[in-house]
Chains A and B, each alone.
Chain A
């Protein structure tokens, strides 16, 4: 009897967000909607006049930098999307129970962030209208040589996999909760649970396991430790990029920003819906510890890059490294990550140092710092090409309001995504079997 009532309360709690919207909810949606609208206006402006409305320019005689915030944001969002699915896959593959309550949040983050990342590629293009036709037309050829074609392919594949994964695991919950979900979304539920029967659960969980397994392999090997860094590390004309260390560095940054954002989003939901029981402090403490670890990994790789670039490097590499080291933004970003790692590491060792607020505040740091780091990586790399004899090299880049609006737009889109999805679907898994097993 006691166990049963416990399950009930848990379900009650899970269903909290699905109730009628509050004023606060409307306010959030309004603000995020305004942010998105603002960005759409900026984008329309860009579509009308061309990329000339950005701060970008050609490198060489022009004195510009051809990629900037858009590509930086693209990598950043892919990075965030990454960790999300890795957390959830970790739960499934390695039975990391502490992360169980945030697994679905992380999956939703993956799908949302990946969509936004894809959008940033489109925003960066001079002719977004052509992308589908042009890419398909010579795909057989380009897939053999173009890292950008690889990226488009792997991201599409990754999107399909995570969406399938999410769908598979959510069908069970919708079925179990079908009587208690808001009736107005009934068609959505019907669609999602189409053909579902409880007997499929076992098969589905095996499928989900294999999908999780594939994602765990795919993400580090092919995506953030693969085609995304390859976009840069294979380019010999830019010495700052041309280094085999990019792949692990990218992966460390992805994990850092991903864990940071899962902490932030979980905390927001916990605050909003009083989910102290569902997402206990312990989950945050552990996530903080993991964040400290991946942050340390990131710092270690930065050290490798700087040592190699500064000691007795070939001229091009040295110039690029010097440019990086002279940049206050770089050191600010690194300094912030160091501070975050120090605190998160300390709270791992001395639990007395742990406080919910502090962990969350400190988690914001690496998330923001990685966006700066990524954009800087792109811009500094392109500003210091190998062939630097031009008068106008190193190039300059000052982002315009259009580009800065895109950051606001991206964040607003994610907020809207969560606002909408949390009203329709249970964002924490119901599955009772894990309940009793918690330590």
Chain B
């Protein structure tokens, strides 16, 4: 049995929850993939940090399910994220406990300044410095300005989450292929054309960086 963990971190209103749900929904087509996870609820949705966790346990063919090797806890233990989708750079920095050398970080470089920076004058670290710091843990860091891409193509920030989903798919770490995610966007959510376009934008952007 193999475990695979995806952590999404961001700020309230960025669509982290929806992103998490798509990654969980995709398992319904796979009997051999068990999934657990969670999403932030309650007070922190109001301008605070939000996250979504997706944990897969994949049983290979002919293998029996073994609860001692399954996924149970809804939070990812230290260093065990295979992908960290950071919808905001500071939130990646705040959540490095999920990261180890195996982690692919998809880092949206669009900053959302916390209230403490704006009104209390706390310092927002430079993105370059944060990325340098993260390199102590992993060198698989992919930068993308999903907000700018979303704004450019759609005129708003509404597809940032789907762009980042496309970016995550490009790492080829997820247990699904591109078409499966396309199908979910096509059948389960509104505005399929825009979403499919956004998925491709994110995917192509990261593929460019990998090749």
* Pairing of A with B: no
